[in-house]
A = this chain, B = another copy of it.
Amino acid sequence: MKDEIIELISKKKYKSLYDLLDVMNEVDISALMTELNQEELVKVFRLLSKDKAVDVFAEMDPDDQEKLIESLTDNELQKVISEMYLDDTVDLISEMPSTVVKRILRATTPDHRREINELLKYPEDSAGSIMTTEFVELHSDMTVRDAIDDIRREAIDKETVYTCYVLDATRHLQGIVTVKDLLISDYDVVIRDIMEENIISAKTLDDQEEVAKLFDKYNFLALPVVDSENRLVGIVTVDDAIDVLQEENAEDFELMGAVIPNDETYFKTSVFKHALHRLPWLALLMISAIISGFILQKYETVFAAFPLLVILLTNITDTGGNSGTQSSTLIIRGLATDEITLKDYLRVVWKEFRIGLVCSVVLAIVNGLRVYLQYKNSAEANYAQTALPVAIIVALTMVCVVIVAKLLGASLPMLAKLVHLDPAIMATPFLTTLVDAVAVLLYFAIAARVLTVFFPAAVLG
């Protein structure tokens, strides 16, 4: 597709290019823009119909938007900006360098600029930052006919018209009416009689993730946002809610993968920035590894005398880490979807304890038998002599480590939530490294006791 377009540009076949662009979706055109150079980009943009140009521009990557703005005349820029939805303009401004922002603001009317400045004041990740102020306002004493006439007049400038908001004289939200309600009611019915008065709304400073979750829960197409005095100031639409849900999911994935979250895409992030987002976690997690080292150091005489213990060390630590990861993943997910709340803590711990018991007993039997059968006839005399005690040590350690790992896996995300951190931060890597230290401690503590029974003469740490 890209090659076809570049070829049409170079051959100056603008009519064919126009026809091609005409049948393409705006989102696909904007995705393609990324692959064009500045000159090609402007040529393609100028071939788009006015409405389509605005939609394509709003969907474009910020880097491409900047490149394009540089090449547009003030007049062209003004046309695009004046047709854009307000929330898209605000998104654009927050991504552009200050010189470009000045040009954009010069291209707006004073009224428009005032509204943009209002929206820019809301903190990042708040409901206010993702809302638009363009919505259809109705009054409760209008008839359905009046309302439909109103919508017909205003629709072209509104991002969504399907949910209309009934306001009183002080701009308090009295009710909502959907276009579907209007379409199934008689023309003479008064809005007051069909509006829904029990309204779920968000506050401007609510967290955008909480707002997005309301869309998932209640199947809304739009949600009203009110200020601290309960006046309607904007609406959030379902497409923006989906974007927030997907962003927050990406952020949880990154935190669980021990990467500091990054708004940029994978390929757009430079090698050094990637490294910078990964090194802090790796360095922090080393501290826990150093603790494991100290524990191992304490038990040096044990592992020196019984090398079979060292051979089975990673088996123990890996199983512990994986068991903990399983629990933390499900708890993080449960917290994210609000199925699990902090007051469920004891219920979760009790459940994970029992799951850990079932898993660990099975693993203890399988691993204990495996170690005994594998080493009891080993050619190496030391292995053969210690096969039985080591099998017992492995089995006992499995039970303790798996249960402890599951309890830590359940507790750490909830602890994070309690102190208002993102629970996902406690997932896999942090947990794995912590569980490792605990697993090493339990392994050698159990080993020292069991071996004293079997080999009372040996000197153990």
Q: Report A's interface with B, CB cutoff 8 A.
A: 23-25, 27, 148, 151-152, 155-156, 161-162, 179-180, 183-184, 197-198, 200, 215-219, 221, 238-239, 241-243, 245-246, 249-250, 252-254, 256-259, 265-267, 271-272, 274-275, 278-279, 281-283, 285-286, 288-290, 292-293, 296-297, 300, 303-304, 307, 310-315, 317-319, 321-323, 325-326, 328-334, 337, 339-340, 344, 347, 351, 354-355, 358-359, 362-363, 366-367, 370, 427-429, 432-433, 436-437, 440
Contacts and interface: CB of A to CB of B under 8 A. Distances in A.
Given A265-B339, A304-B307, A318 B253 contact: no
B221 A221 contact: yes
B258 A239 contact: no
Given A24-B198, A200-B25, A325 B258 contact: yes
A461 to B, nearest CB: 12
Among A297, A330, A333, A358: residue with most chain B CB under 10 A = A330
A271 B355 CA distance: 5
Contact of A433 (B221, B322, B429): B322
Contacts of A283: 363, 366
A179 to B, nearest CB: 6
A339 B217 CA distance: 28
Nearest to A439: B314
Nearest to A351: B271
Contacts of A310: 296, 300, 303, 310, 313
A296 B275 contact: no
24 contacts: A148-B183, A156-B184, A216-B243, A221-B221, A253-B253, A254-B333, A256-B256, A256-B329, A257-B330, A258-B322, A258-B329, A259-B330, A265-B334, A266-B339, A267-B347, A272-B358, A278-B323, A282-B322, A285-B322, A289-B319, A293-B312, A303-B307, A317-B317, A428-B428
A325 B275 contact: no
B221 A429 contact: no
Contacts of A238: 221, 238, 242
B319 A286 contact: yes
B292 A253 contact: no
**How many copies of this chain does the complex contain?**
2
A318 B288 contact: yes
B436 A318 contact: yes
A319 B282 contact: yes
Given A242-B245, A286-B315, 9 more contacts: A162-B179, A258-B329, A266-B333, A267-B344, A267-B351, A286-B363, A293-B315, A300-B310, A322-B433
B339 A267 contact: yes
Nearest to A339: B265
Given A257-B329, A325-B428, A282 B314 contact: no
A387 B170 CA distance: 76
A344 B337 CA distance: 33
A326 B257 contact: yes
A274 B257 CA distance: 23
Contact of A271 (B318, B321, B332, B358): B358
Among A151, A257, A334: residue with most chain B CB under 10 A = A257
B326 A314 contact: no
B198 A23 contact: yes
A428 B257 contact: yes
Nearest to A406: B278
| 7 nearest CB pairs, A to B | A257-B329, A219-B239, A289-B315, A275-B358, A322-B429, A292-B314, A271-B354
Given A322-B285, A359-B278, A315 B292 contact: yes
Nearest to A250: B333
A259 B249 CA distance: 18
Contact of A27 (B217, B254, B311, B329): B217
A84 to B, nearest CB: 15
Contacts of A243: 216
Contacts of A304: 304, 307
Nearest to A196: B25
A253 B370 CA distance: 31
Given A242-B245, A332-B253, A281 B355 contact: no
A432 B322 contact: yes
A290 B315 contact: yes
Contacts of A351: 267, 271, 274
B184 A318 contact: no
